[in-house]
Amino acid sequence: MSSPGSSVPPPLLQLSGVTKRFLNVTALAGVSFDVRRGEVHAVCGENGAGKSTLMKVISGMYAPDEGQLRFEGEEMRFGSTQAARAKGIVMIHQELNLVPHLDVAENIFLGREPRRGPFVDRARQRAGAQACLDRLGVAIRPDAPVASLSVAQQQMVEIAKALSMNAELLIMDEPTSSLTDTETAQLFKVIHELKRAGVGIVYISHRLDEMAEIVDRVTVLRDGRYVATMDLAATSIDEIVSLMVGRALDDKFPAATRQRGSETVLAVRGLRRKGAFGPVDFDLRRGEILGFAGLIGAGRTEVARAVFGADPVDAGEVLLHGRKLDIRSPIDAIRHGIAYLSEDRKAHGLAVKMTVAQNVTLANMRAVSGNLGFIRFADETAAARRYIEALGIRTPSADQVARLLSGGNQQKVVIAKWLFRDSRVIFFDEPTRGIDVGAKYAIYELMDKLAADGIGVVLISSELPEILGLTDRVCVFHEGSLTKILETRATSQEEIMHHASVRSSATAAHAPTLQTTAP
């Protein structure tokens, strides 16, 4: 509490000595934390540091095993998220929580529909939704089906839903992860408006460089424990990162252990899909990491998906070790040893409700099955344990449900799945999106090791420092064309951006979305 005459307002929210355990795992250990009215308080830490558990305690999803939570000076013990919302605590989850077959207005007021007698007052519901959308400055119709919206638009609907609840404390978990620069700028305007209105905001983001625009204070967690709270203006990103990982990160990228050879592992010739990309030609050599750079929509992901057989092509050839492949589906690509790690690992790479062991063996179940097709569970567990140890996957056991792992460890499980399938070429599409700096470094080391072991690695990334720090050569895409292949050690961010943004008059109004700040 503030002393008499102090200019610092008393906390809107105050946690003291909060501990939360799950069986034999301590997720939070004696964490103390507070949020003031009208401030944005960032919570930083590596994946697995306890951020999500802390937010779930605040929002009423979890009850603490020890410690105290006070809201507006009153001790609270919420039994549910509904109870927390009734007090004015609202959380916007990173994973969207919308009903696709309902429209925008119905989603915003789901469970809180305005009534006219026994009936829903749809006119008032639409008007209320429109007011929230106007406040965000987004052109989304209240009657638009949520299923018809882009991921970024759905994220704005989630934010509009939170605004409709008149929150006193708003928790934002990676709110900009799916937003464009323009949408992020609009969101920041809304956050400043909420601050002026006295709303307290807890802000979680792996994009540390964006915090300077909105954040007042930052708290760092590590391994479920409180480390420090600082005024953002009095610290630096490097200091925050050092506190997060417990060591200074002088080098954000590991020294390469691989040696590039002259042997071509994968060759793509004249690959084309009308309206999407092409013709595209490139080679992937043994022992190298090949980068795909370009603005969003330039065709990087589309080319990778086409090689993987996920999307059809109109022309072109794919050759593996000089042998032409007939790839008409992902099953064909997988059979030939080509793997693709989607940028949305939870939707397209991971079976989140299955265990680590089940995910690791999912693409090669014959290897752990008997003659009659029944799974040999001992073999499945043994295979998973090998990769848990080899890749440093942090999990209580091979039987842990995948959705309970941190983002970095989930990514390692997906990699383990393709290694167990004996993949010879792996496309990594935005592999470190939503992953903290410490976990990023581990993924970088793993990619280098794969290339050193002779596996062909293609890195698709919107972060230019990541491209420059990891790759040997860079394929630069622009509007579906591969405009240039550059030697990484002889190029720069400026040269890559030049080849990536030679824009036509039709696209000149759109700002580049490549990140040019270090991850």
| DSSP letter (8 states) at residue 479 | T
- Choosing among 3.40.50.300, 3.40.50.2300, 3.40.50.970, 2.40.360.20, the CATH entry for 11-245 is 3.40.50.300
Residue 219's DSSP bridge partners are 43, 229
Write down the H helix ranges in 87-150: 104-108, 122-136
- Residue 392's pLDDT is 82
Confidence at residue 303, expressed as pLDDT on a 0 to 100 scale: 95
Contacts of 331 (CB under 8 A, 6+ apart): 309
Mention every residue, 6+ apart, whose C-beta is less than 8 A from residue 396.
23, 24, 25
Task: Name residues whose C-beta falls within 8 Å of residue 36's C-beta, 6 or more positions apart in sequence.
Answer: 8, 9, 10, 11, 12, 200
Domain limits, CATH 3.40.50.300, in the chain: 11-245, 263-337+424-519
Residues of the chain with confidence (pLDDT) below 50: 1-5, 503-519
Instruction: Name the DSSP letter for residue 46.
Output: -
263-337+424-519 has which CATH code? Answer: 3.40.50.300
The per-residue pLDDT for 446 is 86
pLDDT of residue 250: 58
Q: Measured between alpha carbons, how far is 364 from 310 in angstroms, rounded to an integer?
A: 19
Strand partners, 289: 457
Supply the pLDDT for residue 186: 80
